Structure 1
């Protein structure tokens, strides 16, 4: 197993936070595209798929928010800054655990994005 320095881990955490923010922005754009379909005169079958994607995007946003929070907490813990624990929410200090969670987050988001782009007519700008 490759060992990383504290500085490398903190840099990686910052990079992941940026990536999670990008996902949040893309999810917002996807939801806006779905709203366009809702406002159109789409068939019932399409509207059922829109609702399905609305639910998936809502959950993706929730997971992204949780990941961002946990990445911030992990960075605080690793940098030895005082950590304020709110609502019995201890920081995650294990970088490897965050790495596994981020890998899963990335994989699930890419699947969602791929499914969404197959569903949406026209461009695949996301």
Structure 2
């Protein structure tokens, strides 16, 4: 299926994704800070196990967010009017449809993580 998105609309979408990924980065940072507070408390072993599990998932989410942000920027460069040489080219970042699919997966995984985090936190307040 061929994309018929005009260049300006494409760039707006890519910029929107960059903002969304940055928002996720900021939320992950706040969630990690909250988990650190719990980790410093005298919580039970069961709670500390859950804190560690969530902390690991948050760390991975941050890594994925960083990768997504980088790839979105590279996709924007490859789809711009002026040709740009991209050195880091080991993922299919020039394909808008691929980036769109990756963003959908990114969102789903983040929503699941956030739901798990929010279910856990009220138990610890």
TM-score (norm 2): 0.89
Which SS does the other structure have where 1:28 is aligned? helix
Unaligned runs of 5+ in 2: none
1:86 CA drift (Å): 3.6
Q: How much has 1:5 moved relative to structure 2?
A: 1.0
SS of the counterpart of 1:121?
helix
Q: Give the secondary-structure state (helix, strand or coil) at the position aligned to 2:93.
A: coil
CA RMSD in angstroms comes to: 1.9
**Residue 67, structure 1, aligned to residue 73, structure 2:** no
Structure 2 partner of 1:85: 86
> How far is the alpha carbon of 1:11 from its aligned partner?
0.5
> 1:1-126 counterparts in 2 under 5 A?
3-87=4-88, 89=90, 92-121=93-122
Post-superposition CA distance 1:104-123 (Å, at most 9, x none): 1011100100010001127x
Equivalent residues of 2:92, 2:98 under 8 A apart? no
CA deviations 1:54-89 (Å, max 9, x no partner) are 100000000000000000000011003343434554
Give the Cα separation in 1 of the matches to 2:103 and 2:88: 23
Q: Distance in 1 between matches of 2:85 and 2:91?
A: 9
Q: Where do 5+ consecutive residues of structure 1 fail to align?
A: none
Contact 2:61-2:110 at 8 Å conserved across structures: yes
